């Protein structure tokens, strides 16, 4: 360990970050090559590589073979959104989660949802309505279609004890999916469940998740009017 200060890749990363934020390395400018920087900090090139790769993954650096590494002109940092489980989200807010399975049956798919799921309208899907509560206060009203072709076991599932949300994550983890947030006036059913006036603006999340072959589920979460979706940047 020749240099006490830059022994690990996280130290190298921190030093590079310092130079970026202090503008010692200007936006758009070429920074020293891995080899040079390694020599300067008396560490191995591998270590520098690890550090710079980490910064590149966060969008602060742009790296190209032969062309070198540049500081991103418009450092855009991505916010991470992790809301796969409503119950977790409620717990994270310091409240105690619970849910009521209001209704569970089987019905044909409305055409606009069929399109979102890339499924034919023909076969009926499992339909579930759930009210999520935080400390016994309405938190979100969930309407969901489940494709039994993708998850046969869902026919026999009982979503009163375990929410459909969690049940599906455990039994049919998805490969990919899409999220869609919008602001919409509360529909009659949702308004009643959430205890607010109809037409009250609510934040609505539509989520479709897909398994290896076909869509697993479509879900719409209508959040209570005071809901805020917050993220760190």
Residues in the chain, overall count: 233
- Residues in a beta bridge with 126: 106, 146
Give the pair of three-digit tokens for residue 220: 């719409």
- Nearer to DNA among residue 14 and residue 102 (C-beta): 14
| DSSP conformational letter for 150 | T
202 part of the interface to its own copies, by CB under 8 A: yes
Picking from 215, 209, 206, the residue whose alpha carbon sits closest to that of residue 180 is: 206
User: Which residues make Cβ contacts (< 8 Å) with residue 23, sequence separation at least 6?
Assistant: none
If contact means CB under 5 to 8 A according to the sort of partner, which of DNA, its own copies, none does residue 75 touch? its own copies
Q: Please report how close the Cβ of residue 59 comes to DNA at its closest, in angstroms.
A: 13
- Residue whose tokens read 């006490």: 4
Q: Is 34 in the site for DNA (CB under 7 A)?
A: yes
Q: What is the closest distance, in whole angstroms, from the C-beta atom of residue 182 to DNA in the complex?
A: 37
**Is residue 8 a contact point for DNA (CB under 7 A)?**
yes
Q: Which of 152, 146, 150, 158 is nearest to 113 (CA)?
A: 146
Decide if residue 53 touches DNA (CB under 7 A): yes
3-state secondary structure of 61: strand
Of 1, 136, 183, 188, the one binding its own copies (CB under 8 A) is 183
Please, is 179 exposed, middle or buried when counting C-beta atoms within 10 Å of its C-beta (0-12, 13-18, 19+)? exposed
Q: Which is nearer to DNA, 64 or 170 (CB)?
A: 64
Of positions 19, 63, 93, 184, contacts DNA by CB under 7 A: 63
Query: Is there binding between residue 56 and DNA (CB under 7 A)?
Result: yes
Q: Which partner from the list DNA, its own copies, none does 202 bind, CB cut-off 5 to 8 Å by kind?
A: its own copies
Residue from 42, 81, 74 nearest 59 by CA: 74
Q: Applying CB under 8 A, which residues contact its own copies?
A: 21, 27, 73-82, 84-85, 88, 166, 169-170, 173-185, 201-204, 207, 209, 212, 223, 225, 227-233
Q: Applying CB under 7 A, which residues contact DNA?
A: 1, 7-11, 33-35, 42-47, 49-50, 52-53, 56, 63-69
């Amino acid at each position: 360990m020749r240099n006490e200060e830059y022994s690990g890749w996280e130290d190298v990363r921190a030093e590079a970050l310092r130079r970026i934020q202090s503008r010692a390395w200007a936006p758009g400018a070429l920074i020293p090559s891995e080899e040079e920087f390694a020599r300067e900090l008396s560490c191995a090139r591998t270590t520098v590589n690890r550090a710079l790769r980490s910064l590149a993954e966060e969008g602060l650096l742009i790296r190209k073979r032969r062309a070198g590494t540049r500081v991103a002109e418009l450092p855009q940092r991505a916010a991470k959104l992790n809301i796969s489980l409503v119950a977790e989200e409620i717990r994270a807010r310091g409240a105690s989660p619970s849910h009521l399975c209001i209704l569970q049956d089987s019905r044909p798919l409305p055409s606009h949802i069929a399109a979102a799921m890339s499924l034919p309208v023909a076969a009926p899907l499992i339909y579930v309505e759930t009210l999520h509560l935080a400390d016994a206060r309405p938190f979100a009203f969930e309407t969901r279609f489940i494709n039994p072709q993708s998850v046969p076991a869902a026919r026999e599932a009982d979503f009163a004890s375990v929410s459909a949300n969690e049940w599906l994550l455990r039994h049919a983890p998805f490969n990919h999916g899409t999220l869609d947030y919008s602001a919409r006036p509360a529909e009659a059913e949702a308004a009643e469940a959430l205890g607010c006036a109809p037409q009250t603006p609510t934040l609505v999340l539509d989520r479709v998740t897909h398994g290896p072959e076909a869509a697993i589920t479509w879900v719409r979460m209508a959040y209570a009017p005071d809901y805020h979706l917050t993220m760190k940047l």
